Structure 1
Amino acid sequence: MKLRGSEVCVSLLVCVSLALADLSPPQNLSVQSLNTQYVLRWDWADDQQSAINGTITFTAQYLSAVYSRKPTHKQKWRTVCVDVLEQRCDFTDAGLSYWGIYLLRVRANTAQQFSNWTNITFCPDKEADLGPPSSVKLTSVKGDLEIVIADPLSCTNESMKTLVHDMQYLIHYWKQPEGYQKAEVLKTQNNVVTLPKLDRWTGYCVRVQSRYDFYNKTSVFSDKHCTRTEGLIPYWQIFLYFLLSLGVWFLLGLLVWFSFYKVFKSFKSIFYPNVQLPPHIQEFWLSDSETPHLLPPPCSGSVWDQLDMISAETDTVPDIQISIPEDQDTSVPSRHGSGDSGFNSTEEDSSLDTHTDTHTDTHTDHRCKTDTQHKQEMHDGTLEICA
Structure 2
Amino acid sequence: MERSFQPWLYSCFLIPVIGILPEPKNVRMNSVNLKNTLQWDPPDFYKENVTYTAQLKGYRSFEDKCKNIILTSCDFSNISKYGNHFLRVRAESENDKSDWVNITFCPLEDTIIGPPEIQIESLAGSLHLHFSSPKVENEPDMWTLKEYYYTWTYKVQYWKNDTNDKLEKTVPHDSEVLTDLDPWTVYCVQVQGFVTDTNKSGEWSQPICAETTDNGSHPYWTYITVPIVSMIVVLMLVFGCFCILWYFYKKLKCAAFPGYSFPQHLKEYLEQPSYNISFLLPVSPNESESFDKLSVIAESENIGHDTTGPCDYPTEVKQQSLLSGEKQHLPGHCTQRVCPVSSK
> Using the alignment, how far apart are the partners of 1:275 and 1:138 within structure 2?
68
Matches within 5 A, 1:102-121: 102-103=86-87, 105=89, 119-121=102-104
Offset of residue 129 of structure 1: 0.8
Q: Which of 242, 257, 267 is matched with 2:242 structurally?
A: 257
> Using the alignment, how far apart are the partners of 1:106 and 1:173 within structure 2?
48
On the 8 A contact 2:127/2:178 being kept in 1, the answer is: yes
Cα deviation code 1:89-131 (max 9, x no counterpart): 4433x2322343331547679xx78965665432212220113
1:277 alignment partner in structure 2: 261
Q: Is residue 224 from structure 1 mapped to residue 208 from structure 2 by the alignment?
A: yes
> Using the alignment, how far apart are the partners of 1:220 and 1:239 within structure 2?
49
* 1:219 counterpart SS class: coil
Q: AA paired with 2:156? A: I
Matches within 5 A, 1:180-329: 181-187=164-170, 189=172, 195=178, 198-199=181-182, 204-212=187-195, 214=198, 216-221=200-205, 223-224=207-208, 226=210, 227-228=212-213, 230-246=215-231, 248-250=233-235, 252-272=237-257, 274-275=258-259, 277=261, 279-280=263-264, 283=267, 291-292=276-277, 327-328=316-317
Q: AA paired with 2:63? A: W
Cα deviation code 1:188-217 (max 9, x no counterpart): 545565656555675544322223473653
On the 8 A contact 1:211/1:219 being kept in 2, the answer is: no
> Using the alignment, how far apart are the partners of 1:286 and 1:208 within structure 2?
102
- Structure 1 residues 248, 185: closer, same or farther in 2, change over 3 A? same
2:30 alignment partner in structure 1: 32
Q: Is residue 75 from structure 1 mapped to residue 40 from structure 2 by the alignment?
A: no
> Using the alignment, how far apart are the partners of 2:119 and 2:107 within structure 1?
26
> Using the alignment, how far apart are the partners of 1:215 and 1:204 within structure 2?
28
2:11 alignment partner in structure 1: none
2:107 alignment partner in structure 1: 124
Q: Is residue 91 from structure 1 mapped to residue 76 from structure 2 by the alignment?
A: yes
* 2:205 counterpart SS class: coil
> Using the alignment, how far apart are the partners of 2:249 and 2:113 within structure 1?
74
> Using the alignment, how far apart are the partners of 1:123 and 1:139 within structure 2?
41
Q: Which of 100, 106, 117 is matched with 2:84 structurally?
A: 100
1:169 alignment partner in structure 2: 154
> Using the alignment, how far apart are the partners of 1:188 and 1:38 within structure 2?
28
Q: TM-score, normalised by structure 1?
A: 0.49
Gaps of 5+ in 1: 1-17, 68-73, 296-323, 330-354, 363-387
Offset of residue 291 of structure 1: 3.8
On the 8 A contact 1:101/1:121 being kept in 2, the answer is: yes
> Using the alignment, how far apart are the partners of 2:96 and 2:63 within structure 1?
17
* 1:233 counterpart SS class: coil
On the 8 A contact 1:203/1:229 being kept in 2, the answer is: no
Q: TM-score, normalised by structure 2?
A: 0.54
Alignment identity in percent? 24
> Using the alignment, how far apart are the partners of 1:170 and 1:275 within structure 2?
85
> Using the alignment, how far apart are the partners of 1:219 and 1:135 within structure 2?
13
2:301 alignment partner in structure 1: none
- Structure 1 residues 245, 36: closer, same or farther in 2, change over 3 A? farther
2:12 alignment partner in structure 1: none
> Using the alignment, how far apart are the partners of 1:42 and 1:286 within structure 2?
129
Q: AA paired with 1:164? A: Y
On the 8 A contact 1:145/1:229 being kept in 2, the answer is: no
> Using the alignment, how far apart are the partners of 1:42 and 1:135 within structure 2?
35
On the 8 A contact 2:39/2:72 being kept in 1, the answer is: yes
Gaps of 5+ in 2: 1-15, 281-312, 319-327, 336-344
Offset of residue 77 of structure 1: 0.9
> Using the alignment, how far apart are the partners of 2:203 and 2:316 within structure 1?
138
2:290 alignment partner in structure 1: none
> Using the alignment, how far apart are the partners of 2:263 and 2:57 within structure 1?
118
Matches within 5 A, 1:126-141: 126-136=109-119
On the 8 A contact 2:154/2:193 being kept in 1, the answer is: yes
Q: AA paired with 1:267? A: L
Superposed CA RMSD in Å reads 5.2
Number of positions where the alignment pairs a residue of Structure 1 with one of Structure 2? 267
Offset of residue 234 of structure 1: 1.2
- Structure 1 residues 252, 167: closer, same or farther in 2, change over 3 A? same
> Using the alignment, how far apart are the partners of 2:97 and 2:279 within structure 1?
140
Q: Please, which moves more after superposition, 114-123 or 127-136?
A: 114-123
Q: AA paired with 2:162? A: E
1:365 alignment partner in structure 2: none
Q: AA paired with 1:264? A: Y
Q: AA paired with 1:206? A: V
Q: AA paired with 2:61? A: Q
- Structure 1 residues 267, 197: closer, same or farther in 2, change over 3 A? same
